[in-house]
A = this chain, B = another copy of it.
Amino acid sequence: MAQQERAIRTRRAVIEAAAQVFAEYGYAAATVSDILKVANVTKGALYFHFDSKEALARGIIEAQAQQALPAQDVKLQEWVDQGLLIAHLLPRDPVIRAGAVLSSDPLGREHYGSAWPALIDRSALALAEAKERGEILGHIMPRQTAELLAASFHGVQLFSQLESGMADIEHRVSVLYEHLMPTIALPAVLARLDLAPDRGARLYAQAEATATQQPAAVG
């Protein structure tokens, strides 16, 4: 195994361990030594990648903000896909789940930031592009709608956590888009949108298949 690949794996193991510890104890109570125990790497290896608890939280937040998605003919579908993919990943991927918890923690504003500003910027940009292409209604203001989606999505996620431990989140997020999109999309575009609860699972399966076909040029 090449050194670069080993470094990527170590970094990922540390991020996953930190996600688990932050999710269990919360940011304030978690310690780097808790994370070391779970990650099963040396202290030196951990500190090579992340020099503090804040840096670990920032690493998780960056991973949350970096979900890549395939381009679609309808730009508005890409906007929807972002949320449906996260809804699929939240109950399955501890790093995404920890990222959501850390991003909404008021402590983060002082210590490590939040994925929300980057996610909202990207979301507003996609809406602005959809508007230029004539896909969305004229009165929609991209940033306002992007902030509303972020806030509502967060609430739906907390509600699903309380009601079902996140088991129904894909359904609830699909219901959210079903309620929002008729107000946002032109009718002809609305008819072409896929808002189904299993859309996120299909996007994830596609991304996995693509990754298998194109192995990274390392090793």
* A contacts, CB < 8 Å to B: 104, 106, 109, 144-145, 147-148, 150-162, 172, 175-176, 178-180, 182-184
Contacts and interface: CB of A to CB of B under 8 A. Distances in A.
A176 B172 CA distance: 16
Tallying the copies of this chain within the complex gives 2
Contacts of A182: 182-183
Contact of A176 (B152, B175, B178): B152
Interface of A, secondary structure class, is: helix
A73 to B, nearest CB: 24
Contacts of A178: 183
A103 to B, nearest CB: 10
Contact of A155 (B106, B109, B156, B183): B156
Contacts of A159: 147, 150-151, 154
B184 A179 contact: yes
B151 A151 contact: no
Contacts of A109: 162
B179 A148 contact: yes
A-B pairs, 6 with minimum CB distance: A155-B155, A151-B159, A152-B152, A154-B155, A151-B155, A151-B156
